[in-house]
Amino acid sequence: MKKKCLRLVIADNESIIRLDLREMLEDAGHEVVGEAINGRKAVELTRMHRPDLVIMDIKMPEMDGITAARKISEEKLAPVLLLTAFSQSDIVEKAKDSGVLGYLVKPVRESNLFPAIEIALSRWEEMQGMEEELGKLKDSLETRKTVDRAKGILMAAHKLSEQEAYRRIQRYAMTKRLSIKEVAEAIVRAAGGKV
């Protein structure tokens, strides 16, 4: 099975580190779509290219890697793998709080880089899936609340049972080719309520 070619942004203020990373990545069949010497530029390149992964140093001018990683993470642009020459626990804590999905200590070796990339990408996919599921659950809950309000309005206005109120909403939705949520929202709005 052929591995997927990744599109990456790399950021490090040391050109030799960027060159080494680029070589390792391109030799493995990946594409470096952008290189930055500071965190501000790394964020710009990530917004522009929407890469599969960002690999960046922690200590950079203008904007450090942790701050840049936080911005990239908050905007849900791409997973971030941080590089550092230091393995101090306070830096690791700050890195964890910034939303990064991996952390490597320099010098970076292929034997460490590619497993870290795979883990970061796997965690990113898991997070994306969980956010999608959470969005569906929130929407489902909102729909249920709106339908319950609409049933209550119909029950009070027409002296219906809860079941009969729901059946009327269903029938109307089928007749008008609307979703139950759309019908319920229309009933709530017609009754002067906010959806």
The pLDDT tens digits for 47-72 are: 999 999 999 998 888 899 889 999 99
- Spatial contact of 54 and 42, defined as CB atoms under 8 Å apart: yes
Under the banding of pLDDT at 50, 70 and 90, the label for residue 1 is very low
Supply angle C-alpha 111, 106, 15, rounded to 5: 105
Overall size of the chain counted in residues: 195
Measured CA to CA, the distance from residue 172 to residue 184 in angstroms comes to 10
pLDDT of residue 29: 93
Measured CA to CA, the distance from residue 12 to residue 123 in angstroms comes to 23
Measured CA to CA, the distance from residue 68 to residue 59 in angstroms comes to 11
Tokens 């999608």 locate to 132
Beta bridge partners of 55: 10, 81
Does the pLDDT value for residue 12 go beyond 80?
yes
Q: Which domains does the chain have, with CATH numbers?
A: 7-108 (3.40.50.2300), 134-190 (1.10.10.10)
Under the banding of pLDDT at 50, 70 and 90, the label for residue 95 is low
Does the pLDDT value for residue 191 go beyond 70?
yes
Q: In what order do the strands lie in the sheet with 53-57?
A: 31-36, 7-11, 53-57, 80-84, 102-105
Concatenated DSSP letters of 59-79: S-SSS-HHHHHHHHHHTT---
Tell me the pTM.
0.69
